[in-house]
Amino acid sequence: MLDLKKIKDEFKLKLGKKLNLSEINQIKSDLFGKNGHITLEFKNIGKIAEAERKNFASELNLVKGELQNLINIKVREIENIEINEKLEKEKIDITLPERNFIRGKIHPVSQTIDEISSIFSEIGFSVAEGPDVENEYNNFTALNTPDNHPARDMHDTFYLDPKKEKLLRTHTSPVQIRTMLNDKPPFKIIAPGRTYRSDSDQTHTPMFHQVEGLHIDTDINMGHLKGCLNYFIKEFFEVKNIKMRFRPSHFPFTEPSAEVDIGYEIKNGKIVIGEGDKWLEILGCGMVHPNVLKNVKVNPDKFQGYAFGIGIDRLAMLKYGIKDLRAFFECDYRWLNHFGFDPLDVPTNYRGLSR
Ligand code: DAH
């Protein structure tokens, strides 16, 4: 009995101090391990005189319970301290100033392509694509362009081999050919993309962007072409009253062919699209030449339709008041920051006219 009291007092004292987990484990094993004090006392029970045995056993169980209880409390205390320390360390300091970060901008050409695609998709056009490196056949021959046509000239076209079989496409029109060769009519596509010509000054860069349009079916006429372009121009410039005229022209791949001008005026030194007595050429178009349809195995007696080609960079300059085309492709971050579009805040009203 005396031993029991000693053990109890000694370990109560120990457990009253500041301990870590490994110290507690040590105490556990000192008490309840194979040779632990409490374990040994249990083994002693048999040796105790019968008269005292019952008393001793019940006292021993009490001491065991009390010490075990103290150990459990201590372990919980330590775990709580650890959790609190962790919470304290990982606390977010909401008083810190925000970190500066730079958000990228959408290039005006990409923005304009998005706008054009969404306007045409509203009237049933889907988007087609073709490669920048084209073959001579798709870029010229299939488009009914004669061998002696000036567009084929070395001064105009970037050829990639001495035989002049591969080239950087000079327009997006070869996507018409690819689309019609790969599929069956009817066709209703637009094809935006990069195009290349050997040209460089304030309004020409060796690489520029066009969007091609093609609509072929059994009953498509020039009225549809006019309606489609008129709709597009109004939507794109977000102007209800816009003057548009078709001027006779020539392209080898269309017959008849036309160039389209829109009306504008200069107000306070700024170009205003819509009314006015000045004309600005913005695209070429026409009814697809029967020879082109024959080249892609489409029967011209059954199918016909229109095509058009629009200069995208020019449209972007007009809509967003950008004066020098060359700056588009100089990768000057300051320029992009000024003329580019915030990806999270693009103009939402560019589809505004029809809503
Ligand atoms: N490919 C012509 C060019 O680059 C533009 C063009 C004109 C495309 C008339 C057409 C079209 O599809 O019908 O100047």
- Section 313-327 average pLDDT: 89
Determine the pLDDT at residue 346.
64
pTM of the model: 0.72
* pLDDT, greater one: 277 or 351: 277
Split at pLDDT 50, 70, 90, the class of 354 is: very low
Q: Which fold does the domain 108-142+168-339 belong to in CATH? A: BirA Bifunctional Protein; domain 2 (3.30.930)
- Section 123-148 average pLDDT: 96
CB atoms within 10 A of CB 225: 23
Ligand 1 binding pocket mutation candidate from 308, 312, 315 (most atoms within 8 A of CB) = 308
- Cα 288 to averaged position of ligand 1 atoms, centre (Å): 10
DSSP-assigned states of every residue in 287-337: EEPHHHHHHTT--TTT-EEEEEEEEHHHHHHHHHT---GGGGGS--HHHHH
66: Cα within 13 Å, side-chain hemisphere: 15
259, 258, 252: which is closest to 292 by C-alpha?
Answer: 252
What average pLDDT is seen over the chain?
Answer: 91
What 3-state DSSP class applies to 271? strand
* Domain parsing of the chain, residue ranges: 2-89, 108-142+168-339
CA dihedral over 150, 152, 158, 163, signed as positive or negative: negative
pLDDT in tens, 322-343: 888 889 999 999 999 999 998 8
State the angle between helix axes of 50-89 and 21-32 in degrees (0 to 180), rounded to the nearest 10. 170
Peptide bond into 186 cis (omega under 30): yes
Query: Where in 52-176 does DSSP place strands (E)?
Result: 126-127, 133-135, 166-168
Whose Cα sits closest to atom 2 in ligand 1?
Answer: 309
pLDDT in tens, 224-257: 999 999 999 999 999 998 999 999 999 999 999 9
Ligand 1 binding pocket mutation candidate from 175, 179, 285 (most atoms within 8 A of CB) = 285
- Section 112-119 average pLDDT: 95
- Cα 238 to averaged position of ligand 1 atoms, centre (Å): 24
What proportion of the chain, given as a percentage, has pLDDT over 70?
97
CA dihedral over 346, 347, 350, 353, signed as positive or negative: positive
- Shortest-distance atom of ligand 1 to CA 212: 12
Determine the pLDDT at residue 2.
61
Determine the pLDDT at residue 352.
45
Is the pLDDT assigned to residue 353 strictly greater than 60? no
